[in-house]
Amino acid sequence: MNTKAKKYEKEILEAIQGKPVFCFKDIFIHYSGITRQYAYAIGVDKSDKIKDIIETNKQKGKVSMLAKWIDSDNATLQIAAMRLIGDDDTRRKLNQQYVDHTTGGEKITGFEVTIKKNK
């Protein structure tokens, strides 16, 4: 990273500390020292320090929302939470659609299919 990029990286890190930044473009809500296009042009978007803060914020956001969904009385949010934290078997059970392929409660058996050819 060049000198300009390091300078802006430092300023950006100070500006976004503790702010709800979940992707690179969110930085420019809290920092106006340069434009987003210029930041990309000089390579600030490749900063591991900035990427780490963004990833940490995403993880904190996920944990926070998941806790709210679990504590909620809203069944839809609780199911969404179970889909996120459940294993594959749990997710399949939550998403399973049962289709009854019976007639009057009895299985359909012994049917024939006839294909007629048009002449």
Evaluate whether residue 113 is within a structural domain: no
Cα dihedral sign, 29-41-50-12: negative
Per-residue pLDDT tens listing for the chain (119 residues):
788 899 999 999 999 988 899 999 999 998 888 999 999 999 999 999 999 999 999 999 999 999 999 999 999 999 889 888 988 788 777 776 655 566 666 777 777 778 888 86
Helix, strand, coil % over all residues of the chain, rounded to 5 = 60, 5, 35
Number of domains the chain is built from: 1
Evaluate whether residue 117 is within a structural domain: no
Evaluate whether residue 30 is within a structural domain: yes
Evaluate whether residue 118 is within a structural domain: no
Evaluate whether residue 8 is within a structural domain: yes
7 is written with which tokens?
Answer: 């300078």
- Residues of the domain holding 32: 3-107
Q: What is the C-alpha separation between 64 and 115, in angstroms, rounded?
A: 59
Q: Residue 32: what pLDDT? A: 87
Residue with tokens 């749990």: 90
